[in-house]
Amino acid sequence: MQSDKTIIGDSHIPADLYPLINGLCTVGADLAKTIARGSLGQTLGGAVGENSDGDQQKTLDVMADEAFAAALKSLDVRWYASEEQDTVVELDPNGKYALAIDPLDGSSNIDVNVSIGTIFSIFKAKDNGDDSFLRPAHEQIAAGYIIFGPQTGLMITFGKGTQFYILSPDTARYELANAAVTVPKASTEYAINASNYRHWTKPVRAYIDDCIAGADGVHGRNFNMRWVASLVAETHRILTRGGIFLYPADAREGYGAGRLRMVYECAPMAFLVEQAEGHATNEHDRILDQTAKELHARTPFVFGTPKKVDRLTAYHDLPEKEVSALFGARGLFRD
């Protein structure tokens, strides 16, 4: 990787963050080549161990983590927190930034050629590594993801809107494709892993039941369900086509707080979605107002078109015994 190579235009990137963003994009471009080789190179989807939370690590998870950590040492990053690392790592004692990263989100989809990606979040560094990340999520100064799919792209925000860049095969640079991404205000899609229906809380089941009822239900329209099991791919669809994504808490052991990680996944995606005029919650409250209690803490996560996200919150605000009858029979929240 050539860390001094200019690979992305800087017109929408703050000058002090440009070297860091450029470095992330350079690693992303290198990873895109590795991923594109697929089985012509080394086996990327092979299991190589488990991370600190017991999730299975793939070869590409480890490769991506090592590549980003190596690049960031010279890019003003003091603290590096990775989903693949047990604790915060100090890269540069004089660095100004703290960067949290899921180096390769959706790695279970590597072998089936489904879109995967890298998620990152940037804070101003504090003197203590953990303190740099265990803080209100609205203190992020930048967040984004790199998506590896039919196109390799960068979705990013610095708190003044959300921009999307595509890695051009012609110029080998990330070219600005959309300077003001916004979540569509209307959509007939929802995303949830329906196989867990029996484990959900009553408000979540009532919400999905109303979606399934389609034109005959309170929404008065038919819906399509989507589920990719790759947060980057799910977020990209929401930012492009609207709708709602749900990974709720449920009754299974170990799922009481959902499964997505606040620091590495939910906080940066919530920042992107809100800057694109969407909403993001933990089913009840705004994600960006939350503070992770530990580095690998998990949280329920719901985001997308504001009206849909707010409706789910309203389901939770009612007494449980009233949810199905009130919304199903009277349709108070009909579109």
Q: What is the pLDDT of residues 218-234, one digit of tens each?
A: 889 999 999 999 999 99
The residues spanned by each domain of the chain are: 15-178, 189-330
Mean pLDDT of 250-271: 97
Terminal-residue alpha carbon distance, the chain: 51
Q: What pLDDT score does 10 carry? A: 80
Q: What pLDDT score does 211 carry? A: 95
Q: What pLDDT score does 333 carry? A: 46
**pLDDT at residue 325 is higher than 90:** no
Q: What pLDDT score does 334 carry? A: 47
Cα–Cα dist 131/125, whole Å:
9
Residue with tokens 């793939």: 58
**pLDDT at residue 1 is higher than 80:** no
User: Which helix (H) or strand (E) is 209 found in, with range?
Assistant: helix 202-213
Mean pLDDT of 289-299: 98
> What are the φ and ψ backbone dihedral angles of 87, each rounded to 5 degrees?
-135, 175
Q: What pLDDT score does 317 carry? A: 84
- How many other C-beta atoms can be found within 10 angstroms of the C-beta atom of residue 171? 9
Q: Residue 177: which pLDDT band, with cuts at 50, 70 and 90?
A: very high
81-85, 184-188, 325-329: lowest mean pLDDT where?
A: 325-329
**pLDDT at residue 51 is higher than 90:** no
Q: What pLDDT score does 4 carry? A: 61
Cα–Cα dist 190/8, whole Å:
33
> What are the φ and ψ backbone dihedral angles of 258, each rounded to 5 degrees?
70, -165
**Which CATH number among 3.20.20.70, 3.40.50.300, 3.40.50.1240, 3.40.190.80 corresponds to the domain 189-330?**
3.40.190.80
Pairing, β 224-226 against β 89-90:
unpaired
Cα–Cα dist 179/158, whole Å:
12
Mean pLDDT of 298-325: 87
* Half-sphere exposure in the Cβ direction for 308 (13 Å, CA): 28
Closest Cα to residue 65, out of 212, 264, 257?
A: 264
**pLDDT at residue 44 is higher than 60:** no
**pLDDT at residue 294 is higher than 60:** yes
Helix, coil or strand: residue 232? helix
pLDDT tens digit sequence for 178-215 = 999 999 999 999 999 999 999 999 999 999 999 999 99
40-44, 115-119, 143-147: lowest mean pLDDT where?
A: 40-44
**pLDDT at residue 45 is higher than 70:** no
Contacts of 70 (CB under 8 A, 6+ apart): 1
Top-level CATH class of 15-178? alpha beta
Helix, coil or strand: residue 114? coil
In this prediction the pTM is 0.92
Round the average pLDDT of the chain to a whole number and report it.
Answer: 91
Closest Cα to residue 154, out of 141, 167, 142?
A: 167
